[in-house]
Structure 1
Amino acid sequence: MTAQTHASLKTELDAFREGWTRRVGAETATLVAQDIENLRQSGLLDRVARAGSPIPALRLPNAAGDPVDLRALAESGPLVIVFYRGGWCPYCNPELRSYQKRLADFASRGATLVAVSPETPDDTLDTAEKNGLAFPALSDVAGRLADALGIRFRLSPEIEALYRQFGHDLPARNGDGEWSLPVPATFVVERGGTIAAAFVDPDYRHRFDPADALAVLAQLPSAAPLQSDEIRRPHGFR
């Protein structure tokens, strides 16, 4: 089941990428690929929060606008934070749905699952409803959490122009007037608030499969150890 779930998300994302490349053409696809590589070489990964760092003590509004204390969530058990770019992102929605499908497995590990984006609570609510999420979707107001974790960046002028062309009005959707985004990332936090593992990849077309997050949870001190053939360390794992 784990291998099948893992393959299904990657297969879905890869299929979309192939279709998108055919639709937009080689010039746009090359522009995006080069921008991703520029971001990778920018030094952003050098400042990303790593295993052993504390999760920032911040409160973020949920889709109803009610504040959620991340450190308080981590006090009751492990916490898995999935950063996504927004409901407009065609790679983010399949990722969120894949985590929703495994929600019971996270609960069985005693873990709380939350999704975080820079979008306003209204847009976050739309994304949660569209994907049938039964776990909290939080708004990172003004990118405070993304900044604290070192994953926020400003879009290049070329990608800003492309997103304008595509109708992705990020300053309005995020409510901060900025053309900035978080790198999609997944942080697995131990009970008590220490980051146990972080997956951060500047290529937003790559995502941390829920099966891998569950594998990390199984290796936390309070969990039974995994068998050697269950352990994976995907690209982007830090």
Structure 2
Amino acid sequence: MKKIIILSVLFISLLACKNNKEIKEVKTIKPLETAKNIDYAVFGMNSEYLPKGLKVGSLAPQITMTTDENEIVKLKDFYKNQPLVIIFYRGYWCPVCNKHLSEFAVRAKEIENRGAKLIAISSESYENVDKTRDKTNANFTIISDIDGSIMKAFDVNYNVTNEYQKMILEKLNASIAKTNATNNAVLPVPATYIINTNGKIVYKQFNPNYKVRASIEDILNNLPK
């Protein structure tokens, strides 16, 4: 009888330990970035339309872009002979963007040495792209989305709330609308994409939280072999 009681106690104790462990493990799991746990307003996103970004496995959009020398180029011209890395950023006024692009300015060669092309795309005008270059020393291609069509094609664009515009004006002394080439208060989610030479998206980093970006290591680890 005593043996049965002892064994029962041990079983219950082990079960309790297992349950406690599972509870602790569940608490440490990082929550998924879903509409339920993202406060989009914090990031200035108008909830009328929330972008999701193109999916991995989908084909890159067939779009044209205008360079700072007013030349028309096709997106596919960038990836037809080598993988293409695309970084979307918000503007020269964004300290997080400047820090991120500064890191790429220092290490862009690592991506290029792996045979890939790196470009950055922003809603800001080319006049303000020059300010970004001055702040970050970025020596890679930067494209101004002069009509907003690139952001739309990649489904990264969103309308900025009035409250967020006011905050940026007060804290960073910048008008989002006046900074942009379209003169509209529209920004991209600062997403990152890798496109292979077949035009397929093979990597995507997309987070409404502008403080979360793809690192150089993330990109190097996901470049097509």
- Could you tell me the TM-score, scaled by structure 1's length? 0.71
1:35 paired with 2:41, answer: yes
1:201 paired with 2:190, answer: no
What residue number does 1:174 align with?
Answer: 180
| 1:127–1:66 Cα change, 3 Å | farther
Runs of at least 4 residues off by over 6 Å: 40-43
**Is the partner of 1:65 in helix, strand or coil?**
coil
Q: Distance in 1 between matches of 2:193 and 2:107?
A: 16
**Is the partner of 2:109 in helix, strand or coil?**
helix
What residue number does 2:191 align with?
Answer: 185
Question: Residue 69 of structure 2 is aligned with which of 49, 64, 72?
Answer: 64
Q: Which amino acid aligns with 1:184?
A: P
Q: Distance in 2 between matches of 1:82 and 1:164?
A: 24
1:109 paired with 2:114, answer: yes
Unaligned runs of 5+ in 2: 1-38
- What is the percentage of aligned positions where both structures have the same residue? 27
Bigger shift: 143-152 or 127-136?
Answer: 127-136
1:79 is displaced (CA, Å) by 0.1
| 1:184–1:41 Cα change, 3 Å | same
> Which of the pair is proportionally richer in helix?
1
1:90 is displaced (CA, Å) by 0.3
What residue number does 1:232 align with?
Answer: none
Q: Which amino acid aligns with 2:210?
A: Y
Q: Distance in 2 between matches of 1:125 and 1:107?
A: 22
Q: Which amino acid aligns with 2:74?
A: D
Q: Which amino acid aligns with 1:80?
A: V
**Is the partner of 2:60 in helix, strand or coil?**
coil
1:200 is displaced (CA, Å) by 0.7
Q: Distance in 2 between matches of 1:183 and 1:105?
A: 25
1:172 is displaced (CA, Å) by 1.6
1:84 is displaced (CA, Å) by 0.3
1:136 paired with 2:135, answer: no
Pairing of 1:121-132 with structure 2 (within 5 A): 121-132=126-137
Indicate the structure (1 or 2) with the bigger Cα radius of gyration: 2
Question: Residue 152 of structure 1 is aligned with which of 134, 139, 157?
Answer: 157
Question: Residue 123 of structure 2 is aligned with which of 92, 100, 118?
Answer: 118
Pairing of 1:195-234 with structure 2 (within 5 A): 195-217=201-223, 220=224, 223=225
Contact 1:79 1:189 (C-alpha < 8 Å) held by counterparts: yes
- Could you tell me the TM-score, scaled by structure 2's length? 0.75
Please report the RMSD computed on the Cα atoms of aligned residues, expressed in angstroms: 2.2
Q: Distance in 2 between matches of 1:179 and 1:168?
A: 11
Unaligned runs of 5+ in 1: 1-32, 224-238
Question: Residue 59 of structure 2 is aligned with which of 41, 54, 60?
Answer: 54
1:42 is displaced (CA, Å) by 7.0
Q: How many residues align?
A: 186
